Amino acid sequence: MGQGPPEAFIPPLNGAGPTPEVDLSLVKEEFERCNSDIIDVHLHEAAWFDSADPLLTEMSLSHISRGLMLSVYGPIPSPFSDDPNEFTERMINESNGRIYGLASLNTTIPDWDSNGAVELERLATYLEKKPGFVGGKVAAPHSCLPLNSTMMRDVLRTISQSSSPVLFTHIGTTPFCGPLGNFVFGRPACCGPEFVDPMHLENLIQEFTNTTFILVHAGADFLPPTGENFYGGENAEKSIMLAEMYDNVYLEISAFLDETSQGPQILDKIAQGGLASKTIYGSDVNHFPNALGSYLATALDMFIEAGFDQEERCMIFAGNAIKVFGLEMSGPTMQPMDDNAQEGEGEAETPETDVAMTGLSSSGEIQFHKKATLPAVMVLIWASYGLNLL
């Protein structure tokens, strides 16, 4: 103690590499009961796909009909694409109506007063002119963007004036708040209350009444109880309170639904608050292949355990996202990926579970689609912690 490097908090690396066979029979039944529509609103770029097909195949195998891909701009460039909005747009266009996008902008540029207009235009262009983009997203702690700030108000003004007035915003802490932030970003993320406490959004929630605020991760804690910036569930409670108080506030529940986390407590509070109609399913786990199905199966178990009935679960899995993002009422017909398909009758390939799928080479580097190779460990950390990145 006191010697050596600071102790890093390592959350479960959902999807980090091959996962054991997961029984998805209950998920399949749920999918059918929910009008064959389960929507995952939290998908990311990742090293293992450069076209929509591998992701769509995994979605099908996991009984996920549709998804939203998040564009991510931050203090360091994406290792996966030259321009995240462009990448998202390509996935939308290749997805046959199964992938939608959340546009973003870079709020970490210097001198926002002089340079912000270009970034706001980037956001507006994708929100307004590009089909398939259904809202805008930011991640305050990662980009050190105070929730109640001129920059945030500028972002909200742009979003509120668009035809997709939805703000998808990270709320709560992230593992990047500590030494990991230093390692990846060159500095820790910003995790004081002004960046992670949803009450700092309240005046903007009141001001931009035409805009839906989706509180991503519902304010969950992603830091150890022993360290700095541990909020002890406070931000989740405040997020739930805001969703109760304001018609234009919703909760997104990605990344914390695993057995070792605060997931059950947060879901219990959502259920007790009668907030099934304000809660949206997302995973934030597609950083590696073969993660979507197991996360969904765990989430379904937890929803049942928390007492959500069938109608409520279908709202969380699809209905609320359809309403908030203005999606078509039912998803495109999805080629069923049943047992036969997995046995080779289907056209799509079953995702491999070996390292080839990740692009991991024998020299320990990951081959990126567009970028130079980086040490594999760096990418694995980036991707793993991307669970809570945005």
Which residues are near Zn ion by CB under 5 A? 284, 389-390
The least CB distance from residue 121 to Zn ion, in Å, is 25
- Alpha helix ranges (H) inside the chain: 25-33, 52-61, 84-94, 112-129, 140-143, 150-160, 179-185, 193-196, 202-207, 234-245, 263-272, 292-306, 310-314, 320-325, 339-342, 376-385
Taking the C-alpha atoms of residue 264 and residue 386, their distance in angstroms, rounded to an integer, is: 22
The least CB distance from residue 390 to Zn ion, in Å, is 4
The least CB distance from residue 252 to Zn ion, in Å, is 10
Which lies closer to Zn ion via its Cβ, residue 341 or residue 381? 381
CA distances, 350 to each of 57, 157, 193, 278, 359 (Å): 7, 44, 44, 34, 16
Which lies closer to Zn ion via its Cβ, residue 62 or residue 160? 62
Which lies closer to Zn ion via its Cβ, residue 177 or residue 334? 177
Which lies closer to Zn ion via its Cβ, residue 57 or residue 286? 286
Q: What angle do CA 380, 386, 390 make, to 5 degrees?
A: 165
Backbone φ and ψ of 387, nearest 5° = -45, -45
Which lies closer to Zn ion via its Cβ, residue 116 or residue 198? 198
CA distances, 237 to each of 17, 171, 232, 265, 365 (Å): 33, 12, 10, 10, 41
The least CB distance from residue 113 to Zn ion, in Å, is 29
Which lies closer to Zn ion via its Cβ, residue 216 or residue 242? 216
The least CB distance from residue 386 to Zn ion, in Å, is 6
Structural contact between residues 146 and 134, judged by C-beta atoms closer than 8 angstroms: no
Which lies closer to Zn ion via its Cβ, residue 189 or residue 314? 189
In this structure, the strands spanning 279-280 and 374-375 are unpaired
The least CB distance from residue 224 to Zn ion, in Å, is 20
Q: Tell me the Cα Rg of the chain.
A: 20
The least CB distance from residue 307 to Zn ion, in Å, is 27
| Nearest residue to 217 via CA among 266, 259, 184, 180 | 266
Per residue in 79-101, is it b (16+ CB within 10 Å) or e — as a string?
A: bbbeebbebbbbbbeebeebbbb
The least CB distance from residue 206 to Zn ion, in Å, is 27
Secondary structure (3-state) at 139: coil
- The encoded tokens of residue 94 equal 């290749």
Which lies closer to Zn ion via its Cβ, residue 9 or residue 246? 9
Which lies closer to Zn ion via its Cβ, residue 202 or residue 284? 284
| Nearest residue to 52 via CA among 15, 89, 104 | 89
| Nearest residue to 133 via CA among 68, 39, 40, 45 | 68
The least CB distance from residue 72 to Zn ion, in Å, is 8
